[in-house]
Structure 1
Amino acid sequence: MTEVTRHDAWQAGDSYDLYMGRWSRQIAPLFLDWLDPAEGLDWLEVGCGTGALSAAILARCNPRSLVSIDPSEGFLAKARAIVPDKRVEFLAGDAQALSVESGSKDMVVSALVLNFIPDKQKALAEMRRVARPGATIGFYVWDYPGGGVEFMRAFWTAATALDPGAIDLTEDRRFPFCTPDGLTDLAEKAGLGSVDCTRIEAPAVFKDFEDYWHPFTLGAGPAPGYCMSLDPAARQRLMERLRDSLPRGEDGSI
């Protein structure tokens, strides 16, 4: 584990769902609208997390089958609790070595995970392997370099002002390929045909500062992991800087 990745904690399903799952639930239906798949297909989701995209697939796409894999047992337990649908099978698995029959899936999708996979080309090769001829392979990630995750960018802006050494921990530094051109290039190098890329946007509204701050104190993900690595005094300074700098609505929302 490197210094850069040591804050990437992916075990606590409840904590991750509060930090990121609620935003993924907004994006997942928009992603499926863009894909516009037929009903009755065989699906594989790679890196299902706490089940946001799985739930959207079941609600919108009426799949014949859905296998959703993730390496985190904590995330899988949360996903099974959130999505108690017998049409989906949540399994432990590695995106770089899928335990799925070759040429068995019509739709292979992944949400907010590809940038965290060590060997992205190997993961995409595995997705190609399990896809049937003519299948669709689709994935989405946050536009970190473009500032597309404003609540994360606000956190890191405050954090690096207090701790300049944290700059290398920020997602835009770690994942510079998470741009339309970068993702297109990644897909083309993996041999995917007819590559298309689009932008999907949704608002992130917090009811108050506590709603914004609390998920960062739960340690699930790079920014929360960094937050909880700070000593109490440093964490207090970071909280106060954020509290004083974030824009507020008249009702106190952020």
Structure 2
Amino acid sequence: MPSSFNVESADGYERLMGRWSKRLAPLLIDFAGLADGDRVLDVGCGTGSLAFTLEERPGLKEIAAIDYSPVFVEAATRRNTDPRIAIRQADACALPFEDNRFDRAMSLLVLHFVPEAGKAISEMRRVVRPGGMVAAAVWDHYGGMSGMRMMWDTVVMLDENALPLRRRYCFQPMMRPGEMKESFLSQGLDEVEETLLLIRMEYHSFEDYWAPIAAGEGPLGKYVAGLEPAKRKAVDAAVRAAYEAGEPDGPRSFASVAWACRGRVA
């Protein structure tokens, strides 16, 4: 099942989101828990934020990682130097592993881009042994991503064509309170808990904030790349004004919240 996330390049994704998913990965790992000897699956590894954070735990026996995007798989494979890590292209809704293969399956910032997110959770449960843990985190786009919402809310003031795109961004799967928990329960997981994880996204300047969007990365980047020149110039100027907020250009810090859920395999 393909992801709905727009990928232009691995480097562009790193600037847009990879650097922040690296900050979120340790929080998800702590929430999911680990034990020496664990075999862990990273579902939707992207450029490797979660897999390479798991790599820092020497007691893990195996780290398998999959992603649907060949761009991400190639980038993560090129970066990998740990023999415990195996990365392959695969579908989150049809995992290429036998039942009960892993002790834990984790998914970081992926389920909201999977059209059939419940099926992906079911697949994660299938490949985890009884007593093992399934855990996932997604951004709270509606209420917890102040820096990104600022972009969308600015853009829709200039172009009503962006209104349905903002709605889709804010209400992607698994983003409403309790939605992931309900899906985990519906897929037969036990002891299901949902919580919030908080990081801050810190930018050196407007260029640092806007460049990956301007290059076409992600849902907003895809929209911006398709604008005619005059409207593109107006959008660039308006988002800059929102970022600067009347002060000189420079560092800014935005609170960013993710929903996280975990459940035990019966």
Contact 2:101–2:129 at 8 Å: present in 1 too?
yes
Q: Residue 145 of structure 1: CA displacement?
A: 2.1
Q: Using a 3 Å threshold, how does the CA distance of structure 1 residues 177 and 109 change in structure 2: closer, same or farther?
A: closer
Q: CA RMSD in A?
A: 2.1
What is the aligned partner in structure 2 of residue 181 from structure 1? Answer: 178
What is the aligned partner in structure 2 of residue 203 from structure 1? Answer: 200
Q: If each structure's strand is expressed as a fraction of its own residues, which one has the higher value?
A: 2
Counterpart amino acid of 1:220? E
TM-score by length of structure 1 reads 0.91
Q: Which of the residues 148, 154, 177 maps onto 2:150?
A: 154
Cα deviation digits, residues 227-253 of structure 1 (max 9, x gap): 111122222111100111224677711
1:167 maps onto 2:163 in alignment: yes
Structure 1 unaligned runs (5+)? none
What is the aligned partner in structure 2 of residue 65 from structure 1? Answer: 62
* Cα distance between partner residues in 1 of 2:84 and 2:4: 34
1:44 maps onto 2:19 in alignment: no
Q: Residue 101 of structure 1: CA displacement?
A: 1.2
Counterpart amino acid of 2:157? A
Structure 2 unaligned runs (5+)? 253-266
Q: Which of the residues 239, 242, 253 maps onto 2:236?
A: 239
Which is bigger in relative contact order (C-alpha 8 A, separation at least 6)?
Answer: 2
* Identical positions, percent: 35
TM-score by length of structure 2 reads 0.87
Q: Using a 3 Å threshold, how does the CA distance of structure 1 residues 241 and 250 change in structure 2: closer, same or farther?
A: closer
Counterpart amino acid of 1:161? M
Q: Residue 79 of structure 1: CA displacement?
A: 1.3
Q: If each structure's helix is expressed as a fraction of its own residues, which one has the higher value?
A: 1
1:1-254 to 2 correspondence within 5 Å?
8-10=5-7, 12-60=9-57, 62-146=59-143, 148-170=144-166, 171-175=168-172, 177-247=174-244, 252-254=250-252
Of 75-84 and 226-235, the range deviating more from structure 2: 75-84
* Cα distance between partner residues in 2 of 1:224 and 1:202: 22
Counterpart amino acid of 2:140? D
Q: Using a 3 Å threshold, how does the CA distance of structure 1 residues 116 and 6 change in structure 2: closer, same or farther?
A: closer
